Amino acid sequence: MTLARQHRIQVVAHRGASEEAPEHTLAAYKKAIEDGADALECDVRLTADGHLVCVHDRRVNRTSNGRGAVSALELADLAALDFGSWKARDNRDSWKTRDEEPDWEHLPEDPEDREDTSVLTLERLLELVADAGRRVELAIETKHPTRWAGQVEERLLVLLKRFGLDAPATAADSPVRVMSFSARSLHRVRAASPTLPTVYLLQFLSPRLRDGRLPAGVRIAGPSIRIVRNHPAYIERLKNAGHQVHVWTVNEPEDVDLCVDLGIDAIITNRPRAVLSQLGRGD
């Protein structure tokens, strides 16, 4: 298949280079930057003592050696957990099904490298991006239990302001965008920072959105790859309405081809290096 490359598709590392390193860890994001990712995607949750940490699940059980809800734990509790060994075990069990053994170099076990697989705060991730030596954008997805309604967005904007990222001159100038499945969450962000770009994430295609409309003020749609496969005409309607389209989570070569053919603006993937290579932007 000949790929049409009329525009440059942004390659976004989903939870970092999460196929090769433990998701949402400093190791995964360092690897994504090293691989050439244009942007990094992260989920943020609020700890019991008010820190934003990069954790996808409501509970830490799957990705650490601990148990409990992020919202019920303080940062010090999370910092005592191991967020890396589960990935090493998972890879060691499954690598024989792949063409080659994974890159163990990015699964540090030395205590000196503990930061690379400890819980990652959003503040530390922002520092990493600031020191990247090139423009690396950040796509931040808000996760917010009802008990913290509004506080996640409030803390996020305070932190972005500390880094000078809360009020870009225009949305096009911003290296940061905020994503959510919650239109209310995005409304809170837009009300406080009207020029900060927002992305409305879609897991299923609601009948009321089939015409290409998005919540008021949102200019970027974030459909799942399943929606893209099943409803390519919907992508055309979004583009005709003037919206950008950022698709998650795109890992298979045939799905990358489809995104290119449909003029997708950003591909969110666990495999940034492989996708960049397929797009002709590898080493």
This prediction has a pTM of 0.90
The catalytic position among 56, 144, 243, 246 is 56
**Structural domains in the chain plus CATH codes:** 10-278 (3.20.20.190)
- The CA distance from 51 to 87, in Å, is 24
51 is catalytic: no
- The CA distance from 203 to 222, in Å, is 9
14 is catalytic: yes
pLDDT tens for residues 115-125? Answer: 999 999 999 99
- Give residue 263's region: left, alpha or beta (phi > 0; psi -120 to 50): left
* Residue 182 banded pLDDT, cuts 50, 70, 90: very high
The catalytic position among 14, 51, 106, 243 is 14
Count CA within 13 A, CB hemisphere, residue 168.
15
Specify the pLDDT at position 86: 77
